Structure 1
Amino acid sequence: MPERVALYPGTFDPVTNGHLDIIGRAARLVDRLVVGVAINIGKGPLFPLDERAELVRAETDKFAARYGMKIDVMPFTGLLIGFARQVGAQMIIRGLRAVSDFDYEFQMAGMNRRLDNDIETVFLTASETNQFISSRFVKEIANLGGDISSFVPKLTLERTLARVSPQPSPQ
């Protein structure tokens, strides 16, 4: 039986507990999971690409050990389908938090299917404790001096707090 390989792409800026929930659940479904960390300069990343990959890598080893499989964390640029082909993925994993995610993800899945009919998109819905977490909100809360400790792993928390300059509250 051929190795089942999946790609879970994202910017992971920063990696959140929601991302880790999807990674852990996807790891149970495949023999090898590639977490593709996208450059996506248009989103104005808080962390450089290599550091985002490092933070994801620091959190994924436990899943690989727990499920006896391999997780590779790889930065990438360019077309997602091209990267999926490059790593030998038969499926792309996408997380869904809300209906608004579905609209965008449904369109992307259709486009990717047209580009390569052999690569399936698999949607995993966020666990109820993670449905509201997004990297964008985490950065915004951190910038405004709020507590993000329940949204991100410890190392990511430390690195995020070291990078942001919380705005003082109006008196």
Structure 2
Amino acid sequence: MKKLIALGICLIVGIEVLTLVLQARHLVLAASGVALALVLLNIRRVLGSGNRPDTDFDADDLGEGLRRWLSNTETTIRRSESTRADWDRHLRPMLARRFEIATGQSQTKDPAAFNATGQTLFGAELWEWVNPNNISHTGDRGPGPGRRALETILQRLEQV
């Protein structure tokens, strides 16, 4: 609001200076009046829309965001029920990042503390599915841990 008023004053002064420079002194009052009317209309518009919720969001945009989130969630669940190679490629990096963010532990700063925190939080069995150093480089097509393990890991991350 303060910016709008400051810009309005600058507009009015600028128009007055312009009319004086062009030596059209008889237009100073009319030009200043038009500039003042524009400023007052904008102030009225801003004050009038202040109590209404923001209408810039379209229902289609919100629906699209929800559809995208649902699609990502379904893909994550499908990958959790797939092979270990899919788990290592897609889920393990995501879970390791979330673990680092949630606990504040960084693998690069102190690998021993990182590993100890992971073992404490998840237990030895689940930590093997989150640990970023436990990737199978042979492209293991064995089964992944499944949806139940993903759910348990995410619940424990939420509790941190």
Report the TM-score, using the length of structure 1 for normalisation: 0.19
Larger C-alpha radius of gyration, 1 or 2?
A: 2
- Could you say which structure has the greater relative contact order, defined with CA pairs below 8 angstroms and 6 or more residues apart? 1
Higher strand share: 1
If the length of structure 2 is used for normalisation, what is the TM-score? Answer: 0.20
